[in-house]
Amino acid sequence: KAGVTQTPRYLIKTRGQQVTLSCSPISGHRSVSWYQQTPGQGLQFLFEYFSETQRNKGNFPGRFSGRQFSNSRSEMNVSTLELGDSALYLCASSPANGVNTEAFFGQGTRLTVV
């Protein structure tokens, strides 16, 4: 079974630009979550999608948005990039309805904003 796939692996963007990150979950997994990982902050929860609906949302500004498609693939968009958005963005998928499930992580997209 293929794991969680995130593309691209690396991105360099300029302040003010926007960026879209992609995540393909493990086949059969319907829940996809996004996290921002920075040194010293650990993993900060961005949002979670289940069956194309945003089910949970973290404390990030509206510049961060996401969506999920009918095949469970998910995209995350960051508009008007700031230097502080530089981070590793992780996607995690899990099987079903969140009860007694674990999260399976992708390798992440390393975003650098210059």
Partner 1 sequence: AQSVSQHNHHVILSEAASLELGCNYSYGGTVNLFWYVQYPGQHLQLLLKYFSGDPLVKGIKGFEAEFIKSKFSFNLRKPSVQWSDTAEYFCAVTPPGNQFYFGTGTSLTVIP
Q: Which parts of this chain interact with partner 1 (CB under 8 A)?
A: 3-4, 31, 33, 35, 40-45, 48, 50, 55-56, 58, 90, 92, 94, 97-108
- Closer to partner 1 by CB, 16 or 61: give it: 61
Q: Which residues contact 59 (CB under 8 A, 6 or more apart)?
A: none
- Closer to partner 1 by CB, 11 or 43: give it: 43
The conformational region for residue 42 under phi > 0 = left, psi -120 to 50 = alpha, else beta, is left
Judge contact between 21 and 6, C-beta under 8 A: yes
- Closer to partner 1 by CB, 14 or 99: give it: 99
- Site of tokens 């230097």: 83
DSSP 36-49: EEETTTEEEEEEEE
**Closest separation in Å from C-beta 38 to partner 1:** 10
**Closest separation in Å from C-beta 105 to partner 1:** 4
**Encoding tokens for residue 111?**
């975003």
**Closest separation in Å from C-beta 52 to partner 1:** 15
- Closer to partner 1 by CB, 81 or 93: give it: 93
